[in-house]
Structure 1
């Protein structure tokens, strides 16, 4: 299954086109894959995979370790297919509509917090190769992938980033990546199209053993105490968006591949 998905993914990345009606043209690095017939009907005992994904995205199914084995194909086809892109666009479109309604003070203190993995950057090439279920996450292999610095932008997030900057809103990245990955992360962001930002916050060793929600809340609190106003916050994990100082509005991108508390 993983080999088939990877083959189809690699075939798709040769195609370029304009992103969904956006004023910006972005190479299609994450692309359409027609779901196999019946994929949406895959199920775990007592629940369809579509219902399982709904439970995950609404934060009703929590603390899970891996995608159910029966749903690996469904999740893979969703993530590499049109619906994931459409869902991401629906979220970022709404985020921009909200941003347009704001009345900035013009003092440079309005900021928007972005997560990085599966938000600003996509690791779909990694998952397409290693699979979407049965514990695809391997710390050694994933860190090797990160150090390659080849993660493409999620096009919908890159569009939002550019539009927010055009409104005078500054960008702050807060990521679970660690300080030793600062250089490669900086280079990867720039290569993917994120040319500038106010701050890039990486996880310090002092947060070892703490949850992602605690770490991100703490770092957001530092921003607020420095006089910044978090007008928006976008991420793929609920731990990006819960806790304290979450911002005036939060926006949850889809991600049924893994759960981070």
Structure 2
């Protein structure tokens, strides 16, 4: 009888604690906590995009324009990239770089090394369909700012003795010089090679194109220790390297 009574008391205390705890949590939700169904959906949508569970999407859902804007400009994007780069740097510190000059890293360019945030801000942060001619005109200006943490990583890789290859889907014929000048102006100096898409890869998916580039590097004798990109297509396929690192990008999808 006593044991039964004590069990009942414990159950009542547990229920009271749960009620108090739930009330306290609800009263102290952080600023980003979804206040309505639409906000909650946008958080879930962005998670699905970054986890690659949502694929081949063409535009950001219209109701998520403000959500993506705040994510990109209000500090969380910067914090996320900082955390990722800190982890990459820890991985780099554990690699014994050889003296044969064949330890390599691959970095994507758009929204990995340099940012197109200003351009996509005019496109409602991805809610409008991709405009290849408009983007080309933007890229020709050569004013994309560096993503600070990736520049920090880039400099660490160079100083550590890695050969850094910048691999981009930008067209070599029309955007080669503008891209090179943009990267140099933003501090990306000392990389081994800037590789752009040539006519031979016209019409091929990013996965096929970048896999072939990585294959060529491996056949040249390079050991790819790391591969960083903002698109899953930067990191999929063959010869991806010892480790891949995905940066967040909820503004567009590249197959």
> Above 0.5 in TM-score?
yes
| Local SS of the residue matching 2:106 | strand
Structure 1's consecutive aligned runs of 4 or more residues displaced over 6 angstroms after TM superposition are none
Cα deviations across residues 202-248 of structure 1 (Å, max 9, x unaligned)?
A: 01112122110010000000000000010110000000001100010
> Gaps spanning 5+ residues in structure 1: where?
1-36
Q: 2:70: which partner in 1?
A: 77
CA distance in 1, matches of 2:129, 2:184: 27
The equivalences for 1:5-84 within 5 A come to 40-41=34-35, 48-84=41-77
TM-score if structure 2 supplies the norm length? 0.84
- The offset of 1:164, in angstroms, is 1.1
Distance 1:148 1:227, change over 3 A: same
CA distance in 2, matches of 1:202, 1:135: 26
CA distance in 2, matches of 1:196, 1:221: 22
> Gaps spanning 5+ residues in structure 2: where?
1-30
Q: 1:158: which partner in 2?
A: 151
Q: Return 241-250 or 130-139, whichever deviates more.
A: 130-139
1:240 is aligned, of 209, 214, 234, to: 234
- The structure that is helix-richer by fraction is 2
| Local SS of the residue matching 1:60 | coil
Say whether 1:196 aligns with 2:190.
yes
Report if aligned partners of 1:57, 1:255 keep a CA contact under 8 Å in 2.
Answer: yes
RMSD of aligned Cα (Å)? 1.7
Larger radius of gyration: 2
1:149 is aligned, of 130, 142, 159, to: 142
- The offset of 1:136, in angstroms, is 5.0
1:111 is aligned, of 104, 108, 125, to: 104
TM-score if structure 1 supplies the norm length? 0.82
Distance 1:107 1:38, change over 3 A: closer
- The offset of 1:134, in angstroms, is 2.7
1:170 is aligned, of 163, 168, 173, to: 163
How many equivalent residue pairs? Answer: 224
